[in-house]
Chains A and B, each alone.
Chain A
Amino acid sequence: MYLFFGMFLALSTLRRFALSAPLPELGLTPSSQDMEVMKSSAFQDAAENAHSLISKILIEIPAAHKSLIYTTTLSLEESDLSSLQFLKESLGLPQPSPLQPISDKFKLDLSLGRIVEGLKLHKTLLKVIGELSDSKSDKLKELLYDLRDALLHVHKMQQLIKAANGPDKVTESQLREDLAPKLKNQYLSQVATHLALIQLKQFTQDASRSLQNMIISPLESESQDS
């Protein structure tokens, strides 16, 4: 009986594999060419490292928030940002491009490009905000260094899949010019920092998810090989 059951399972998986080729729009898995690169140990290593660092950033955000924001009304736990919507628009903080699960429409190189872009954006944003608000928090610096390191690894991944890097969304000087007059108000600078951190948190969560998808655990790869 188990034999029959096993055979059924085997046959069904085979059919799935056989069917995945002609119906690419259904598959959430990356294309076979990307798969090959993804399986390489260097890519996996870089992805794991990047994932680790992004996890580190996620863990550090609350601490950074605590050290930077002393305005009691701005709490990280409060996910409702609707009341700050007006200020957000008026501040005009640059937004990262959204991340999507890897598919044929949203390929690996694009995903990595978006991650790089987002990381760079937040790095610049936090740097500028930190400079403008004269805060010398170690936690913020730590975040910036981690962002730098994460970028190193994502760059490495990009190199492995031979993807080109897009232009930076914002430059540091431009952003400084934009934000300098707005952040003279202490409250506004706090709000900007708060918003930037929340934005970073959301982005890193997405990035973490994307990277986790790129990491193939040995067990998973074995099952796929078979």
Chain B
Amino acid sequence: MALHWTTLHAVLWIILYLFPGNVQASPCAEVNSSSSLVPFGSPVTASCYIKDCQQQLEKKQDFLIKWKKNAHFIPSSKASKNNVNEILISNFTDTQVVLECLICDQNNCQVVGGVVIKAAYPPPAPQNLTCQLNLESVTLVCMWDPGIKTSDIPTNYTLYTQIRDASSPLKMHVVSPNENSFTVSRDWFPLFYEMQVYVEATNAFGQTKSNILVLDPMKTAKLDAPVIQGVGTQSFGCLEYIWALSRTQKWIKKFLHIELKLKSIKDKIHYKEQVSKPDSKVKVCGLLHGMSYESKIRVKYHNSSSWSEWSNSTVATTPMKAPTGRLVTWLKLLKPESKNQTAQLFWKPSSQFRPNSMNVLYTVSIMGSTKKKETVCVTDQLSCYFQIHAWVKKLYLTAINDAGKSNPTQVSVYKKREMDPVPFLKILPQTEATLSVKWKNPDTPAIRAYVLEWKPLCGTNSNYVSFENMDRNQTSFVISGLEPYMPYKISVYPTYGGGIGRPNSTLAYTKEKAPSISPKLEIGKITPSLVELSWDEIPLQQRNGIITGYRVFYRDEKNNTRVKDTERTTRHMIIKDLYPLTIYEMFLMTSTHNGSVNGSSIMVKTVSVDALEIVLIVIPACVGLALFFFGLCTCFIKQKWMKKYLWPVIPDPANSNIKKWTRADSLECIPPFKDVKDPALVYLSHVSLLSLPEKELSKGDDSIKSGNWPYNGKTVHAGPADSSHDSESFHSEQQSESVPYATVIFAEPYRRQPVPPPVYLRSESTQPLLGEEEPSSPRPYEEITSQVILSNIGHFSTSHNDLSAEEGRATLWGDFPMLRVDDTVKKILSLELASHSEKLRLREEELILKVQRHETDRNSTEVRVAMLTARIRNFKEHLQKHPKDKANKRWMLMSIDRRNKLLKYLRRSRYDAFEKVCAELGIIYTFPPEYYRRATKRWLVKKALCIKVFKEVQKQKAEKKNKALAQRKARSTSSNPAETQGTPV
């Protein structure tokens, strides 16, 4: 460390004496630095030498020397001598530093001297060194980026070039200051040969080198535009070019990259890149036949070089070929009914169609009556009008050019026309050039396809019909390539299996605007109060949209403007309520969806009132008034008569006949109205009064008077035991003709008030209303339960079908021995008293007892058979009674089948049990019928043939087998000795 310091001091003193320029003289101190400009990051030393400060520092004997760096104190090393102090900044990282030397005592510090030190970097390495050969002046221009400048210290550049040949020297080119490029003369670079280049940047603090660039100057050159010397063709779809470099570069005899740009008439551009030598042929294939191409060529020396400019263009045509591919057609028959129809055929090339020449003619021919093709049309357009006979079924469309003709496209003529159109067609503009078309399927499976047709209705190509064939699944299409403000007629034709439907057509615009003109108003009749106006339609070209309506503005002399609208279809208007002898200014405004335009205004003067007109108005008015008064007078005179005939007949409640018949009828049935009124207020909300013929009333009377309703009588005396009584009673009820004579509905007046029992009962039944219902009288259905207990056996005997069932029952119960008891018991315990299900259960138990294996056996096959048997018998019994009950019949058959199944199993598994069951239950088991197929004649023949074939095959097989056997035998006899020699593998 000490050594370090001593060397530093030595350096310091040397600097101090060697560079007096750096010494900053001050009155009493000198501040020195090693250098005022230092490389960035390098160490810097500075010293402060207090020379002669006795005058200023007389009083301050003890002072310290301190350093400030950019106005901040920094620690300094110890003073080597009393009046010298030095400082070392080991890593100089600021661009500019002000070092100040201060003399300090206890109180304050005084600056005695200072020095400014600047730092700078060595220059940045030049970047992006590129060179380009200029072939015209044969010089190599090299350029580079100087890099980011860090300081304003001047930098000098030097370019070094060397031909990469052992003997060549490294050449130094000094670049003029402030320039970043250099032009190397021909001496120092070769052609077609590699050389290396680099740049060196130098400034006060050092030098940096760029990357070494190795290049062949030729590769950097941009060649001049080449020349196409000739174009020829020898094969289909190919063109051959002879090309050369420009005159001054003809000496280049190397393979170069060329690119050909071929532009066909349809503006399709092909690019073909090849490697070729100048003055040689280049063949380009894969081009369209019979198409003329405008060709240009450009060249570059190497892949990395830049392309030259494009050459002059040459036009050449490839050889023609006959057209190939199909055409898409659309046949329209204009007059379908007549014998000679006018047909309109449109076509367009399909995606596979190749015209193979620039001019194609199309011919339309029909198969004539002599089976010869007759040409009906030859055109270069894409449509044709011609006449065809009704019997023509097919047309042929052929494309022809100079080289030949294509295969004819067949077009079939539809027989049926006027079929259903598509039910719905909607057109929406999408952009200015496109329309979206949507339609609905006409809901028939016969639909095959659709034809969408569109054509402009005006303009230059108004005859040009465009179309598109679409399959049956498509229901929308976007038409493109349309013009705005142009009316288009869009039609959709559905194609069916046997014909074509009527079109669904719409007029549409892609974009609308106000019409170009508004029609001129024409004045018709003018009267004092009205003016008749009319105008012409706007020509289609000037409409620019669908006209939505017209509006007439008219203004009188006092500037009162009024407006009248009409629809778009009407083109005349009568303006009424005008003042006579007044001048009106009128104009017409025409509107489309997207704007409107005003027409020129006209002046109309209404005429004055005519004397004859006044007379014509006044006379009829007077006559009318006179007639009116006459009428009034007559009315007042014959008031009574008027009343009778003109006024409507209003029923007089006082004279109503209702009163009469209510009094005549039973008063005891309907309590007097007064009685009702007295106890409480009863609000009658609905009263219906019916008058009946007297006869019927008297009948009803009788029945009431007898007090013995057929309904009640029956229930009391007979007491219905089963439902048959019910029906009987209803029957009798129907017979007694009921008399609906009062319907009284009342509502409660107020709930909190005590309501006495209403005298009138509400009844909606059609029965005659009784004064009071007897609470004791039993209802027919109430009696059923009580009657069952009270009923005796006689009831059964009275039952209408008891007698008939008696015999059947005796035989039935014979099957059950348990039930064979004496008659009295039998009668008491008669099963007939039991419910049907109980009876069934008993029968079941009876049968089960016969066959069960043990006492608790409930699910063995035998028991199940027995249960089923009981059920089947029950069903049988029921079906005898009700032969039309199909549901139960079905259940029975199902049960029989199930029983058969069980029996089958039982027979198979335990025959003895099966026999026992059959015997006990009295079942006769019959086997199910075998599978049987009805033998038809056809089937028999087929079977016979099959058998025959089978036999033949068997015979042949047998023969083969025999043969094989014989052969094997023969072989075995012959090869026996050989077999002994070796084993076969």
Contact = CB atoms under 8 A, between A and B. Distances in A.
Instruction: Tell me whether A and B are bound partners.
Output: yes
Interface of A: 48-49, 51-53, 55-56, 58-59, 141-142, 145-146, 148-149, 152-153, 215, 217
Contacts of B165: 152
B187 A49 contact: no
Contacts of B190: 145, 148-149, 152
Given A142-B186, A149-B193, A152-B190, A51 B253 contact: yes
A53 to B, nearest CB: 6
Interface of B: 138, 163, 165, 186-187, 190-193, 250-255, 277
Nearest to B192: A49
Contacts of A152: 163, 165, 190, 193
Nearest to B190: A149
Contact of A153 (B163, B186, B193, B251): B193
Contacts of B253: 48, 51-52, 55, 215
B186 A141 contact: yes
B328 to A, nearest CB: 42
B696 to A, nearest CB: 125
Nearest to B248: A59
A145 B140 CA distance: 14
Contact of B254 (A48, A145, A148, A149): A48
Contacts, number: 47
B191 A53 contact: yes
A11 to B, nearest CB: 28
Contacts of A217: 277
Contacts of A146: 191
A213 to B, nearest CB: 13
B277 A52 contact: no
Nearest to A51: B253
A67 to B, nearest CB: 15
A95 B457 CA distance: 89
Given A58-B251, A142-B138, 18 more contacts: A48-B253, A48-B255, A49-B193, A52-B192, A53-B191, A53-B192, A53-B251, A55-B252, A141-B187, A145-B187, A146-B191, A149-B190, A149-B193, A152-B163, A152-B190, A152-B193, A153-B192, A217-B277
A59 B190 CA distance: 18
Contacts of B192: 49, 52-53, 149, 153
Nearest to B247: A59
Contacts of A52: 191-192, 251-254
A51 B279 CA distance: 15
A149 B163 CA distance: 10
A153 to B, nearest CB: 7
Nearest to A60: B251
Contacts of B163: 152
A24 to B, nearest CB: 30
A141 B192 CA distance: 18
B164 to A, nearest CB: 10
Contacts of A148: 190
A217 B275 CA distance: 12
B248 to A, nearest CB: 8
B848 to A, nearest CB: 105
22 contacts: A48-B253, A48-B254, A49-B191, A49-B193, A49-B254, A52-B191, A52-B192, A52-B252, A53-B191, A53-B192, A55-B250, A55-B251, A55-B252, A55-B253, A56-B191, A56-B251, A59-B250, A141-B187, A149-B191, A149-B192, A149-B193, A152-B190
A51 B193 CA distance: 13
A154 to B, nearest CB: 12
A51 B165 CA distance: 19
Contacts of B186: 141-142, 145
A58 B250 CA distance: 11
A21 B255 CA distance: 32
Contacts of A153: 192-193
Contacts of A141: 186-187
B556 to A, nearest CB: 96
Nearest to A156: B193
A153 B192 CA distance: 8
B214 to A, nearest CB: 15
A157 to B, nearest CB: 12
B161 to A, nearest CB: 14
A173 B190 CA distance: 25
A153 B251 CA distance: 15
Contacts of A142: 138, 186
A152 B194 CA distance: 11
B395 to A, nearest CB: 44
Contacts of A56: 191, 251
A129 B254 CA distance: 32
Contacts of B193: 49, 149, 152-153
A149 B190 CA distance: 6
B223 to A, nearest CB: 13
